[in-house]
Structure 1
Amino acid sequence: MLGCLLVLGACGSEPEVGCTMIGTPVGIGLDVAMPEVRTATMQVCWDDKCVDPVVELHPSSSAGPQTCTGTAPTDSCGVSVVPTGGRNGFADVPDLPTAPVRVTLRLSDANGVVLVDEVLTATPKPAYPNGVECGGQGPQTGLVVSAAGVVTERT
């Protein structure tokens, strides 16, 4: 009888989920499709608090065309990374809430000419680097700037 109960109990239990101790940066990502942009400044405000995080921009890249040596299981395929001409960065905002924030974004060219000066509302959400079953980590959001200079929140 006891053996049957143990077997039945094991059948009804959920498999264990392996959650790592991976961390998640808290802040706002930035993807800019304007090749002429060289610098970014950002101010993030909520409640009665404003912060001016540092935003370093880096060249963006994406996967290029896939090439394969054949179609046999022992053949190989490869993809090279190609520059997109855009820029990307991340603004660390340690106390970022999971509530709407006001973001002022300014993008400038190499001569310091302001190309984008936009104020918008964004809503950070918890990140789930291990999946929702492991719980959320610090909030994040992202801003996307089109080649025409239109700023939207990444969804």
Structure 2
Amino acid sequence: MVTTVTALTACGSLGRSGRECTMVGTPVGVGLEIEPPFAAKVASATMKVCWDGTCRTLSSIHLSPSTKNGPGSCTGTGPDDVCGVTAVPTGGQHGFGAAPGLPKRPVEITLVLRDASGGRVLNQRLTVTPKGAFPNGPECGEGGPQAGVVVTDGRVRERG
């Protein structure tokens, strides 16, 4: 699962292993990845997440174009030389729905994707199990729980 993190500050502390740990927060919620070519049909997304008899509608899921690393280049091979890589669009989309209080146990998600005219292109329900995220690695402590779902060819599955 890809962990989404938000930097809170550049200051840090030492973790259990003596390794430097930054003060990084972990947003609690559900990540969404919509793979091409299905992503081209989608203009908006909402999720309903239910646990303990209560449901929360995550309606402010901002979708952004997904990218992957393109070809890289370096100015040389020395330690002071510079390397770079360009982000290349994949044709997919991704987003994140914040769900404060999300537990680390199975929850039910209903995902609705709509096209540009507001018509439903997907309406599916599935059960996922959020897991704790470790933005600095396990030796620096666990952040909040996250889950992820992936849409491929109009079918939804839990991100593995």
TM-score (structure 2 length as normaliser): 0.79
Aligned to 1:106: 112
SS in 1 for 2:20: coil
User: What are the Cα deviations for residues 51-89 of structure 1, in whole angstroms up to 9, with x where unaligned?
Assistant: 0012111111111123456x6548754321111121111
Shift of 1:98: 0.4
Shift of 1:23: 0.6
Aligned 1:3-82 pairs, distance under 5 A: 16-33=18-35, 34-53=39-58, 54-68=60-74, 72-73=77-78, 77-82=83-88
Aligned to 1:11: none
- How many residue pairs get aligned? The number is 140
Structure holding more helix per residue: 1
Aligned to 1:150: 155
SS in 1 for 2:139: helix
Q: For 1:82 and 1:59, how far apart are their aligned partners in 2?
A: 10
Q: For 1:31 and 1:18, how far apart are their aligned partners in 2?
A: 31
SS in 2 for 1:137: coil
SS in 2 for 1:20: strand
| Equivalent position amino acid for 1:149 in 2 | G
> Structure 2, unaligned stretches of length 5 or more?
1-15
SS in 2 for 1:136: coil
Aligned to 2:136: 130
TM-score (structure 1 length as normaliser): 0.82
Shift of 1:15: 5.1
| Equivalent position amino acid for 1:85 in 2 | G
Shift of 1:135: 1.8
Larger radius of gyration: 1
| Equivalent position amino acid for 1:151 in 2 | V
| Equivalent position amino acid for 1:106 in 2 | V
Q: For 2:139 and 2:70, how far apart are their aligned partners in 1?
A: 34
Q: Percent identity?
A: 50
Bigger mean CA offset, 93-102 vs 18-27: 18-27
In structure 2, relative to structure 1, the CA distance for the partners of 1:116 and 1:134 (3 Å cut) is same
Is 1:117 the equivalent of 2:123?
yes
RMSD (Å) for aligned C-alpha atoms: 1.9
User: What are the Cα deviations for residues 28-72 of structure 1, in whole angstroms up to 9, with x where unaligned?
Assistant: 000111222110010000111100012111111111123456x65
Structure holding more strand per residue: 2
